[in-house]
Chain A
């Protein structure tokens, strides 16, 4: 059998529905667990982040207007895309040193999580919203609305499951997001971008960046078009993000990356995760002629 030179993939970030390299031209070398060179990962910049926010802003109104049923179907389609490439995903997770079994478990849990939120798309409103029995002649009701564009910062560990667990509750309700993937294990996010691209999710709803957290966090903190920040980061980054959030009263939901987080737990998913990233709007509609 003659030797065939394999075609190696150039990892690219999924932004605005397209696959991009960083505008900076910078890359970070990624090695596998044994220390062998694996690929060059884009080292995105603050400019890339701002571009991604613009892409999200374009996609936002359309995604928020999709019917809940349609959003659910698209999210389920994402699970289908992941399932079909689960072996490849597991290899990507294993790059960071996880055993084959651990990686397969993380991939399976990630797919289950996507399916879980696909099911929430047309149900969370019935759990979180309400009709309110006010004392006057008004039909008073509270509905949820997406916040808009949300910055998501993934932790280093559980590079696929944590990423998916942070992305899904944000987009299920119609938000668009700009995500910074794991610094140390970015490759699963590259693959996830490829699956998002084939899932019928409109381009720009999820924008997945790779790069240095230390470079990007200050821009996540202060970018005024980001209406909320979600993620798992260390104490220093939490403070930076919260300080920046104060300038435009951003909503902040940050877990502690320095403590162990059991991303596999069922408590890490559900309507309360969606609730953290929506607004409530209450309407007083007159009753009577």
Chain B
């Protein structure tokens, strides 16, 4: 019998190291930015009443891009009043099919402006241009297109019940997918017949304010969409304003809890999409190369700034060494650097503050005894960057196995039996998502049944679709976004 070569003679790898450098491949189109962005209230861009602005910077170069208006409580009040007026006078009365046509228009206009939106997103947020170009912007347009069609079919959402919009919805979104989170929030709200006041994240306001231009171009009635930029205080003003009868928030669990507390004395409806610490579970029968790609996509997509990131890798013990070897090799070819370069895999960390948080948690991992491996790549001299990092010898009690890092840092744990995998996966206050890698369909369904998570990806990870409801169990929040379930969360049963 011929000797099997795989055991004794491992397949040769083509590793070129630094032999050849990639040529730069920068995206150069004009993002059509303004030096200063005002608030988008009642269909117009208006300066903030207090006249205050703050700078938004490019996290890859630490250079200023534009001045952004800082909305205070009086600006938020004006936005809410405009939204209420639009709701009672126009939008709430408009037939669903007419509302739907506006949303279709917005979807189409986003596609028309896709390239400039992608560039603006990458400049302001630091994510690789290939992600903003191929994921964020097309997916945002897809969300408007999907929800447009619901506007005249709402009666099918709750059979036997009469439903109505809430009125004015206050929405606060995070900095990891600025335009996409805007689309997840605004598209279903408008389709349901609500008007919105949305606050983008402080570090990523540009695409939200550019979206105001899209609303103008679409001829959307004044006041239906209002964008108020600012920091936490502005968000709190939106959430607490008496006219916002429903609020939707995506962000950290800590802030989510404070929102719940701040609204405890009110009748406001809430949906919260909060943090996660997802388990990505690899069984010994999984196709390993595919799984490694999924692990990489699960944790390094968008620099790991993903609430559903597969930040805890659970590998079956018998294949742990093999998976680790493949993973280590795979991260050596990840390209970290200029987000505007079309070959970049990991762009800039969104802010100095976030970089400090990631660094702190990584240091805690080392201090608590886990073993750190990064890809050792060169990082740009300026800007906020972090190498793709994996930790082995992690125990369930380590901070890096319990706390959301929101960065390109993977903690690897092992398990022997499916029961142990489930036990470890569910041993977290979070419950947003999970991944399962196996060749067995029945095991996928069994694991999905046992995992306490709102989204379970099997042999894939970080997949999203407007038709697919997204949202968490436990301290990852409540309510869903996407699909008919998400649509109904923007309506009330009367």
Binding site for B on A (CB under 8 A): 127-128, 130, 132-136, 138, 140, 142, 227, 235, 238-239, 242-243, 245-249, 251, 267, 270-272, 275, 279-286
Contact = CB atoms under 8 A, between A and B. Distances in A.
Given A134-B465, A246-B261, A285 B445 contact: yes
A251 B480 CA distance: 13
Given A242-B263, A249-B274, A285-B441, A132 B454 contact: no
A249 B260 contact: yes
Contact of B468 (A132, A239, A245, A246): A132
Given A285-B441, A285-B445, A280 B468 contact: no
B307 to A, nearest CB: 14
B477 interface: yes
A284 B264 contact: no
A275 B478 CA distance: 12
Contacts of A133: 467
B245 interface: no
Task: Please classify the interface of chain B as helix (H, G, I), strand (E, B), loop, or mixed, using the class held by over half of its residues.
Answer: mixed
Nearest to B480: A280
Contacts of A267: 161, 493
Contacts of A238: 264
A285 B458 contact: yes
Contacts of A249: 253, 256-257, 260, 272, 274, 474-478
A280 B454 contact: yes
Contacts of A138: 460, 463
Given A132-B467, A249-B260, A279-B473, A285 B272 contact: no
Interface in B429-485: 429, 441, 444-445, 448, 453-460, 463, 465, 467-471, 473-478, 480, 483-485
B376 interface: no
Interface in B236-288: 253, 256-258, 260-261, 263-265, 272, 274
B142 to A, nearest CB: 8
A134 B468 contact: yes
B161 A286 contact: no
B470 A282 contact: yes
A283 B264 contact: no
B17 interface: no
Contacts of B469: 130, 132, 142, 280, 282
B2 interface: no
A272 B493 contact: yes
Count chain B CB atoms within 10 A of each CB in A130, A271, A279 and give the residue with the most. A279
Nearest to B259: A246
Nearest to B258: A246
A132 B448 contact: no
Nearest to A228: B478
Given A134-B468, A249-B256, A270 B480 contact: no
B160 interface: yes
B454 A282 contact: yes
Contact of B455 (A130, A242, A282): A282
Contacts of A132: 465, 467-469, 483
Contacts of B493: 267, 272
Contacts of B460: 136, 138, 284, 286
Nearest to B160: A270
A283 B434 CA distance: 10
Nearest to B484: A130
Contacts of A127: 159
B454 A281 contact: yes
Contact of A246 (B257, B457, B471, B476): B257
